């Protein structure tokens, strides 16, 4: 399932434009995600372009807002979020959970998944 917003394949089953991965941090490893405090321009992933491959990319609907962490899959064990500083910190060892796997044992989606929101 494609989960890259504002692409023509969003929400469809299709060959990947990235490889799903499981990011299980080892003890002592750290990931820090700093989200911008100023407005950014994003595009509505549910606009007409996604479902109509002949549509004009200029029809995408812009969203001007700050972005912030919303939630994650799994819902716990994958970091702490400082809403005031807009920083998500993950310190190993992390427990990202097991995603659905293909018949060959490869992940069908990444873990953890971090969802963002406007605001």
pLDDT digits (tens, 9 = 90+) for 36-85: 999 998 877 666 555 555 556 667 778 899 989 999 888 887 789 999 99
Beta-strand relationship, 40-43 and 113-118: unpaired
| Pairwise pLDDT comparison (101 vs 8), residue with the higher score | 101
Structural domain spans, the chain: 30-118
> pTM for the whole thing?
0.70
Query: Is 70 exceeded by the pLDDT of residue 118?
Result: yes
Averaged pLDDT of the chain: 80
Highest mean predicted confidence (pLDDT) among 73-77, 85-89, 114-118: 85-89
Calculate what percentage of the chain has a pLDDT beyond 90: 26
């Amino acid at each position: 399932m494609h989960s890259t917003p504002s692409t023509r394949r969003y929400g469809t089953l299709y060959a990947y434009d990235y490889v799903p991965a499981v990011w299980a941090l080892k003890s002592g490893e750290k990931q820090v995600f700093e989200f911008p405090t100023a407005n950014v321009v994003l595009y509505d992933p549910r606009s007409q372009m996604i479902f109509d491959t002949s549509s004009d990319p200029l029809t995408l609907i812009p969203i001007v807002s700050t972005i912030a962490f919303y939630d994650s899959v799994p819902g716990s064990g994958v970091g702490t979020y400082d809403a005031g500083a807009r920083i998500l910190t993950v310190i190993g060892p992390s427990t990202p959970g097991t995603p659905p796997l293909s018949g060959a044992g490869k992940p069908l989606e990444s873990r953890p998944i971090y969802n963002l929101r406007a605001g």
